[in-house]
Amino acid sequence: MTRVVVTGLGALTPIGNDVSTFWTNAVNGTSGAATITRFDPTLFKNRFACEVKGYTPEKYLDRNEIKRSDTFTQYALYVASEALADSGLDISKMDPFEIGVIWGSGQGGMETFEQEVKEYARGNGTPRFSPFFVPRLITNMASGMISMKFGLMGINYTAVSACATSNTAIMDAYNYIRLGKAKVFVTGGSESPITEASMGGFSSMKAMSARNDDPASASRPFDVHRDGFVMGEGAGALILEEYEHARARGARIYAEVVGAAMTADAYHMTATHPEGLGAAHAMNSALKEAGISPAEVDYLNAHATSTPVGDISEVKAILKTFGADPRNLSISGTKSMTGHLLGGAGAIESILCIKAINNNIVPPTINTTEIDAEIPGSLDIVIGAARERRVDIAMNNTFGFGGHNSIVVYRRI
């Protein structure tokens, strides 16, 4: 079977605008949460989020790219550029039909939609919309714009599976390379959901933390006092490449993708299955495909959104997969630092899995001070500070509204 490896990384996150800074701040336990600056949140119940900081599109994109792109697409272009540069690929020497783009975004152009509808509502009723309204809005435009920017003519589309989206995109790219449909993929996900409509909608569902007095400590996965997730934004990109192709060009290889799987809970529109049945099946399927036993997994980057129900259902899935006493497994919930990037979450958390393998460091779960009594002490949740340990195999969990479960497994090579 064809092997698939990771040869390039790109990141734009609330705690770092490149992979190196992102990793350093994650290891140091930095929180990206603060009061929202994107709009005036005074009247909102949830007035804070994890925003990208110090990013100006004019520095990285040309005028036409900015004019034609929603922020989520701009983020995608930014990280795709970093990842391709990092990979060392000389695209000019490759068949463009052998390089594809499979991107992910849960909401797409929410910011564009909101702005245009507001403009219409403020008008005199005459329907005047920007000619870029639909192209900026539609979710597939991120993958389309990446392909246009770099001349990539292979398989191209955008996956959508809510908060499981990025892992779904990575899984699809991995499988297409294994099928011989491409040599290289730009894959990952981006999201720009810190808008009035998006924040208001999630707030009405009572899904987000309301710790407005202390945003930095609001996201506290597995803690008995957790009260919801913190919204995040940004993007992550991975360059997946057929192993022999990468080896022939002398590429630096970060890790190998060895297994991926997806299931559906078939249970509820927004809640995860209370016993974690779908998630456990997906984790087991990904490990089976990889030919790896649960005892061999060193690090699990948990979905761990800091919601009361979601964290417990994930713990139950972990116990079903790894047993009641998984002694080798270290777990962290890094959304405690980045917030929840929705469709972009799996991509940036995959980068953390890969960096954990490269550096033998498990990033921490911050803000968690009192583990929920429903979570057994046999689970090794890395709390407060990063931990040095050997990491050969890492798993990334993502779960999304609609019951989507998507898992990817990485291995040292």
Distance CA 245, CA 261 (A): 24
Residues with active-site annotation = 163, 303, 340
At what angle are helices 110-122 and 71-87 packed, to 10 degrees?
160
Distance CA 219, CA 230 (A): 6
Tell me if 314 sits within 8 A of 321, measured CB to CB. no
Alpha-carbon distances of 407 from 166, 212, 295, 399, rounded to whole Å:
10, 32, 17, 9
At what angle are helices 19-27 and 345-359 packed, to 10 degrees?
70
